[in-house]
Amino acid sequence: MANVLCVLYDDPADMYPPSYARDDIPKIERYPDGQATPTPEAIDFRPGELLGSVSGELGLRKFLEENGHRFVVTSDKDGPDSTFERELPEAEIVISQPFWPAYLTAERIAKAPNLKLAVTAGIGSDHVDLEAAIERRITVTEVTYCNSISVAEHVVMAILALVRNYIPSHQWVLKGGWNIADCVSRSYDLEGMQVGTFAAGRIGLGVLRRLKPFEVGLHYTDRHRLPAEVEEELGVTFHADAESLVSVCDVVTINAPLHPETEHLFDDELIGKMKRGAYLVNTARGKICDRDAIVRALESGQLAGYAGDVWFPQPAPRDHPWRTMPNHGMTPHISGSSLSAQARYAAGVREILECWFDRRPIREEYLVVDRGQLAGVGAHSYSTGDARAGSDEAARFGAV
């Protein structure tokens, strides 16, 4: 019997389950690179249901309890008196989402002598101290590619919302106005602009492919260069580093993992090398940007807009300055948690757990840490070290 501790975000404010806008979702069997979508032996949910909140339970309760495991699901994850902190010492498996992360710091890992497996229901395992996991030989996994296209779509939406000044224009409608001049005074065409992605992995490449029809100049930087045929197909220009990329772009989108090498990369100095009035979109991780540098750049006009859905910590404290800074298009961390994506990452978690309990190998592309070293997607995307300092600040979200 395993103790499985799962941290998910809160249920809808009105009720669970919600009334769904659609009766079903499209069935996708393979991702653009040919990788198969999750293939568990069975699922106990209907695709399109809300699975990522506490009552949704990732559709796992029946499977786990019928196999004799104890399953605790909570949204209470921050602070020494939280349910997560109380249950962690007995947990063998911890499941968490990037959108409402249970920060597995070295201190928390030290308090969890039974912990053997950390599963990210989604992609991005930076909420786990990977160095501590390596030292303890804890297996870390994520459901690679499950929501990459979901995030890429969100990036394109955010770019258009900023450049076309969509959000303030919509707000004039809500206020009963017809203030066309106010709306268009910050509205431009994306056509002809230079757009670059910092990192061109699954999400970054998905963004480039979706932006090509917009007749923009495309640019990227990445420590793994794209194949020459892909660069030629997209007409995309490679840059050796972030400084070269941002200096030529009107729009920059961040699509890199968070680790010590990318933490606070977009600071005053790097933002100062961007074109005045450039736009910055971040759906990767909030801590890749220096929080206060973003605010200063928007207030000074160095940045014309900033959008995305990632913050640090998560949930963001109620007084987080990104909530009130000018010309932003921030949302809670939702880009990778659409109902479509939830069906895939819930199935992926089920597949990982089936393999774990049956002592079968977990897909290589799902592995981040295995047998005391970075493995699979982890070896390709991450470096060791800690980028979780300050995560305890998330406890202030619920403060009155």
β-pairing, 139-142 with 367-370? antiparallel
The residue annotated as part of the active site, out of 285, 320, 328, 363, is 285
* Spatial strand order in the sheet of 139-142: 70-74, 3-7, 93-96, 117-120, 139-142, 367-370, 373-374
Q: What is the CA radius of gyration of the chain?
A: 21
CA dist., res. 150 & res. 134, Å (int): 30
Q: How many CA atoms lie within 13 A of 355 on its CB side?
A: 20
Would you call 333 a catalytic residue per the annotation? yes
Reading the block at residue 323, the tokens are 């909530």
H, E, C per residue of 180-202:
HHHHHCCCCCCCCCEEEEECCCH
Q: Are 255 and 280 in contact (CB under 8 A)?
A: no
Would you call 314 a catalytic residue per the annotation? yes
Reading the block at residue 265, the tokens are 């990369």
Q: Are 145 and 32 in contact (CB under 8 A)?
A: no
Reading the block at residue 234, the tokens are 């997209």
The residue annotated as part of the active site, out of 3, 97, 127, 147, is 147
Reading the block at residue 5, the tokens are 């501790």
The residue annotated as part of the active site, out of 219, 333, 344, 388, is 333
Q: Are 96 and 121 in contact (CB under 8 A)?
A: yes
Tell me which residue of 338, 334, 313, 257 sits closest to 77, measured CA to CA.
Answer: 313
CA dist., res. 374 & res. 139, Å (int): 10
The residue annotated as part of the active site, out of 165, 255, 314, 342, is 314
CB burial of 358-372 (b: ≥16 within 10 Å; e: otherwise) equals eeeebbebbbbbbee
Residues 6+ apart with CB under 8 A from 390: 312, 313
At residue 243, the 3 state secondary structure works out as: helix
Known catalytic residues? 147, 285, 314, 333
